[in-house]
Amino acid sequence: MKNRIRWGEGQSARSDNTLNRRGMTHFGYRLVPESEKRLYVKKLFDIVAQKYDFMNTLFSFGIHFLWKRSAVKMLELGPGQSVIDLCGGTGDLSMLAAKAVGSSGHIILYDINRTMMMRGLPKIRHSEHGKHIYHVQGDAEEISLPDQTVDAIMVGFGVRNLTHIEKGLTEMYRVLKPGGKLVCLDFSKPTAPAFRFLYDCYSFYIIPLLGSIMVGSWSAYRYLYESIHMFLSPAELTEMLKRVGFFRVTHRRMTRGIAVIHLAEKRELLYAEEDQVSVTI
């Protein structure tokens, strides 16, 4: 396990760029052609969709509900606002946001995986604000919405699975209205060494074992661990968000760093001056 962990943490932005030039990317620890990663991700979520909500609650001891509520709360949503729940899956974030925007607002649950959306459809239909949640199947790297369409974007545990993360973030920036906010909730690596060791053991051995027993797939839940170790650090994701154009980018560690919530804003108004200085109004 130590070699695998060390290998995953040793990846750099430079090595990722090299892989991109070669037309390859990471699917967990595996190298796969960029053109095929979407298919790998789709197959994985087809496998786990049936028990996705139950397994999330089991593995996190229910703490994922706290993370999601905190992420939506950070957006400070108000009545009448429009929100896209990108990589929305079974719709937990959508239901929380729908409550915040009320009957005058609307939520677009946007996901590339139809199986995941269908799995979450019954609980959304039975929720108080479910009729204000609309389902759209599509790719987060090519969002099928016009420029400056929504007031806020939520991404829960989805950015990590994109083939081209920066391209996806650029699309999010494009569809946000000026002054809009993005919240990104995803897993990370705990900072405390002792707690991190326990977390690594749990994630590397126990979670795949339970996945094998209850879902019939060891590899799907091994990918969870591997993808976390290959994912950007909070500081790296912060820099990427700024590079795309977001400002006021902050992040908040949850449960000793197991999860991290990034919050970013799109400037309300930009003036391009000759000296390339941007002024926020």
**What pLDDT score does 265 carry?**
98
Which tokens belong to 64? 């994922």
Domain ranges (residues) in the chain: 33-45+61-201+231-265
Fold exhibited by the domain 33-45+61-201+231-265: Rossmann fold (3.40.50)
pLDDT tens profile 233-254: 999 999 999 999 999 999 999 9
Residue type, 156: G
98-135 exposure pattern, b = at least 16 Cβ within 10 A, e = fewer: bbbbeeebbbbbbbbbebbbebbbeebeebebbebbeb
**What pLDDT score does 23 carry?**
86
Q: At what angle do helices 52-60 and 207-214 cross, to 10 degrees?
A: 150
Residue pLDDT tens, the chain, 281 long: 333 333 234 344 434 555 555 788 989 999 999 989 999 999 999 999 999 999 999 999 999 999 999 999 999 999 999 999 999 999 999 999 999 999 999 999 999 999 999 999 999 999 988 999 999 999 999 999 999 999 999 999 999 999 999 999 999 999 999 999 999 999 999 989 999 999 999 999 999 999 999 999 999 999 989 999 999 999 999 999 999 999 999 999 999 999 999 999 999 875 433 333 333 33
Task: Report the DSSP beta bridge partners of residue 215.
Answer: none
Helices (H), 83-184: 92-101, 114-125, 165-175
Tell me the DSSP string of 208-258: HHHHHHHTS-HHHHHHHHHHHHHSPPHHHHHHHHHHHT-EEEEEEEETTTT
Return the HEC string of 161-214.
Answer: HCCCHHHHHHHHHHHEEEEEEEEEEEECCCCCHHHHHHHHHHHHHHHHHHHHHH
**What pLDDT score does 233 carry?**
95
